[in-house]
Structure 1
Amino acid sequence: MLDSRWGRAGSVTGRRAKHGTGVPLCAVMSSSELPPAGHVQVDSRPALSSTDGNQNITEVDALDIRQTLDPALQYKMNHERRGVALVFNHERFFWKLKLPDRRGTFADRSNLERSLTDLGFEVRLFDDLRAGDVEQKLTEACKDDHSNADCFVCVFLSHGKDDHIYAFDEAIQIEAITDMFKGDRCPSLAGKPKIFIIQACRGDKHDDAILVHDAIDSRDESSVNETEVDAAGIYTLPAGADFLMCYSVAQGYYSHRDTLNGSWYIQDLCETLRKHGSSLEFTELLTVVNRKVSYRRVDRCRDISAIGKKQIPCFASMLTKKLYFYPKSK
Structure 2
Amino acid sequence: MIRRGTALIFNQENFHWKLSMKKRCGTAKDKENLTERFQNLGFGVETHNDLNKEDMMKKIHEAAAADHTDADCFVCAFLSHGEEGHIFAYDGKVNIKDITALFRGDTCQSLVGKPKVFIFQACRGNIGDDPVTPMGVVEEEEEEEEEEPAMIYTLPAGADFLMCYCVAEGYYAFRNRDSGSFYIQDLCETLRDHGSTLEFTELLTLVNLKVSRRSTERRDGKGKQQPCFTSVLTKKLYFRPKE
Same fold (TM over 0.5): yes
Matched letter for residue 182 of structure 2: W
Is the Cα–Cα contact under 8 Å of residues 106 and 157 in structure 2 kept in the other structure? no
Cα deviation for residue 167 of structure 1 reads: 0.2
Residue 97 of structure 2 is matched in structure 1 by 175
Matches within 5 A, 1:40-79: none
Is the Cα–Cα contact under 8 Å of residues 105 and 159 in structure 2 kept in the other structure? no
Matched letter for residue 256 of structure 1: F
Matches within 5 A, 1:271-286: 271-286=189-204
**Separation in 1, partners of 2:98, 2:10:** 15
Match of 1:117 among 39, 45, 48: 39
The residue matched to 2:46 in structure 1 has which SS?
Answer: strand
Match of 1:188 among 110, 116, 125: 110
The residue matched to 1:204 in structure 2 has which SS?
Answer: strand
Deviations 1:131-176 (A, max 9, x none): 0000111111111110000000000000001000000001000000
Say whether residues 1:160 and 2:78 are aligned partners.
Answer: no
**Separation in 1, partners of 2:13, 2:219:** 24
Residue 143 of structure 2 is matched in structure 1 by none
**Separation in 1, partners of 2:55, 2:160:** 26
TM-score (norm 1): 0.67
Deviations 1:57-85 (A, max 9, x none): xxxxxxxxxxxxxxxxxxxxxx5210000
Residue 304 of structure 1 is matched in structure 2 by 219
Deviations 1:274-308 (A, max 9, x none): 10011101100000000000000004xxx522x41
Give aligned pairs, total.
Answer: 227
Residue 126 of structure 1 is matched in structure 2 by 48
Matches within 5 A, 1:12-23: none
The residue matched to 2:229 in structure 1 has which SS?
Answer: strand
Runs (4+) of structure 1 exceeding 2 A deviation are none
Say whether residues 1:247 and 2:170 are aligned partners.
Answer: no
Residue 199 of structure 1 is matched in structure 2 by 121
Residue 151 of structure 1 is matched in structure 2 by 73
**Separation in 2, partners of 1:185, 1:321:** 21
Match of 1:315 among 225, 229, 240: 229
TM-score (norm 2): 0.90
Distance 1:130 1:283, change over 3 A: same
Cα RMSD (Å) of the superposition?
1.5
Distance 1:161 1:281, change over 3 A: same
**Separation in 1, partners of 2:208, 2:165:** 10
**Separation in 2, partners of 1:80, 1:122:** 13
Gaps of 5+ in 1: 1-78, 227-237
Matched letter for residue 108 of structure 2: C
Deviations 1:165-188 (A, max 9, x none): 000001000000000111121110
Gaps of 5+ in 2: 141-155
Matched letter for residue 241 of structure 2: P
**Separation in 2, partners of 1:194, 1:208:** 32
Cα deviation for residue 239 of structure 1 reads: 6.8
Q: Give the share of equivalent positions with the same residue, in percent.
A: 56
Is the Cα–Cα contact under 8 Å of residues 105 and 157 in structure 2 kept in the other structure? no
Residue 19 of structure 2 is matched in structure 1 by 97
**Separation in 2, partners of 1:325, 1:289:** 16
Is the Cα–Cα contact under 8 Å of residues 30 and 185 in structure 2 kept in the other structure? yes
The residue matched to 1:287 in structure 2 has which SS?
Answer: helix
Say whether residues 1:293 and 2:204 are aligned partners.
Answer: no
